[in-house]
Amino acid sequence: MKAEKIFFVCMMIFSQIICISRMQAENFSFKYQTGDVYRILSTVRENVIVNGQFSHQAEILNRISVTITDTDEDGNGTHDAVFMTSEMALGRTGQTFSWGNEYKSIFLRSRLGKYTMDDSYFMPVVRDVPLFPDKELNVGDTWVAEGYEAHDLRMSFNLQTPYKVPFAATYTYQGTVPSQDGRILHQINCRYNMFFETPQKTPPDPNRSSGDISMSWEDYPVSTMGYSNQTIFWDNEIGQIDHYSEDFRIIIETAYGNTFEFKGTAQAEVDLIPQDTDSDENLTRVQDQIRDMGLQNTEVSVAEEGLTISIENIQFKADSAELEDSEKVKLRQIAEILSQFPDNDLLISGHTALAGTAEARQKLSEERAAAVAEYLVELGVKDKYHVFARGFGADKPVADNHTEAGKARNRRVEITIMDK
C-alpha cells in the first residue's frame, strides 16, 4: 500500500513536470505586417587599439528606420531600411549626436530570421541573428545556427563589397522575464566565436593595367577573429526583438602586419512607430498651439521625415552658436508641444543665410543646430540618444538671399518630429 502511494505521488509529480514543460514550450518567429514601421537605436561603446597601443574610446549610435513593404504567404517580409551611423568621443558630456552617414538597404528576411540581400548593401553588419529553428522550444533548449558579419571596409581597405566573416552561433532559451510595462519577454542567449582567414590574393599579372597591379599590393585583412555574447529579449506576441545587450571583441590582422582591435559593449532598443493616419490633424493642432502661444516667425509643415516646426530668424549671439535668452523662452514653449510626441525622435536642422564662405556657413549651421538640440535635451524633452543635429549651410534657402527679409527667413532652425 505504501509503495502504491509513493508510485502515485511520483506519477503526479511527473505529470506536473510534463504539463509545466508543455506550458513553457514556445515557437519563435518574426511576424511581419505590410506597412509596419519600426526604429532600432543601437548604442556601441568601444575601445579601439591599433598595433597593441590604445587609440581612443568611441560611442557610436546607429539609428535604423525600417518599413515592411511587402509580405508573402510564407510569412517572409521585404524590408526597406535606412541605417544612420554617428560617432563621438566617449566621455564628452552635454553633446548630442550629429546626423551621420546614411546607408540604404533593401532585403528579404524570413519568418525565422534568415537574410536574403544583394552585396551592394553594407548594412546590417550582423546577419541571421537571431535565427530560430522551426519547432517548439522549452526553457533550457539550445540550438546552433549559422550567421555572418558583413563589414564595410571600403574606406580602410578599398573593398567594394561587404567583408563577410562567417560564424556558428549557439542559442539558449533561458525563460521569460517581465518588461517594465508588464509584457512577457523571452530571454535568449546567443554566443559565437569567429576565426576567418581571407583567401590569399593572387600575385599581380604584369599584363594587367597599372591600376590593377597596384590594387593587388594594397593592404587587406588576412584574418579576423573575435567573439560576441548577446542577450536578446524577445516579444513573441508581436514577433520582434524588444531589446538586447552585447559584449564583443573583434581583431583584424592585415597583410602589412597591422592589427586593429575593437572591444566593448552594445545595447539596442526596438520600437514599432505608430503611423498616425491623421497627419493633417496633427498639423492643424500644432499650428493652433503655436498661434495660441503667440510664437512669431514660426511655421509648421509636413515634410518627408515628419512634422517640421521651422523657427525663422532665430537669434543667436553675434557670430556664435549661443542662443539669445529670447529664443530659449520660445524653445521652452515649443518643448511643451514636442512633449506630446513621446515615441518620436527629433531631428534638428540648421540653416544660414548666404554670407561668408561655404565652409564657415556649414560649420555655423551645424553648431547652431547642435545648440538647439542640446537645449531641448537640457529641458528634458528627450535624452541625447533620441535627438539628432545636422547642418545645411545656405544650401536650402526658403527666401531670396538678396534682401534682408529673405536672409532673416533663411537663418532658421527646423525641428522635425520624425515618424520613421
DSSP letter string over 224-270? Answer: EEEEEEEEEEEETTTTEEEEEEEEEEEEEEETTS-EEEEEEEEEEEE
In order along its 420 residues, the chain shows pLDDT tens digits of 445 544 444 444 444 433 344 447 899 999 999 999 999 999 999 999 999 999 999 999 999 999 999 999 999 999 999 999 998 876 555 578 888 888 999 999 999 999 999 999 999 999 999 999 999 999 999 999 999 999 998 888 888 899 999 999 999 999 999 998 899 999 999 999 999 998 876 554 555 443 333 334 478 899 999 999 999 999 999 999 999 999 999 999 998 899 999 999 999 999 988 766 567 888 999 999 999 999 988 999 998 889 999 998 888 887 678 898 988 999 999 999 999 999 899 999 999 888 889 999 999 999 999 999 999 999 999 999 999 999 999 899 998 888 988 888 888 999 999 988
- All three cell numbers of 41, joined, read 537605436
Task: Spell out a b/e string for 1-15, using b for 16 or more CB atoms within 10 Å of the CB, else e.
Answer: eeeeeeeeeeeeeee
Q: Which residues contact 339 (CB under 8 A, 6 or more apart)?
A: 381
Report how far residue 315's alpha carbon sits from residue 327's, in angstroms, rounded to the nearest whole number: 6
Report how far residue 392's alpha carbon sits from residue 406's, in angstroms, rounded to the nearest whole number: 17
In Å, how far are 124, 363, 414 from 395, measured between CA atoms?
Answer: 31, 13, 14
- All three cell numbers of 173, joined, read 532559451
Q: What is the DSSP string of 326-390?
A: HHHHHHHHHHHHHTT-TT--EEEEE---S-S-HHHHHHHHHHHHHHHHHHHHHTTSS-GGGEEEE
Residues β-bridged to residue 416 = 308, 347
For position 277, what pLDDT does the model report? Answer: 53
For position 127, what pLDDT does the model report? Answer: 97
> How wide is the angle at C-alpha 330 spanned by C-alphas 329 and 334, nearest 5°?
120
Nearest Cα to Cα of residue 43 among 268, 261, 324: 268
For position 90, what pLDDT does the model report? Answer: 63
Q: Are residues 113 and 214 in contact, defined by beta-carbon separation less than 8 angstroms?
A: no
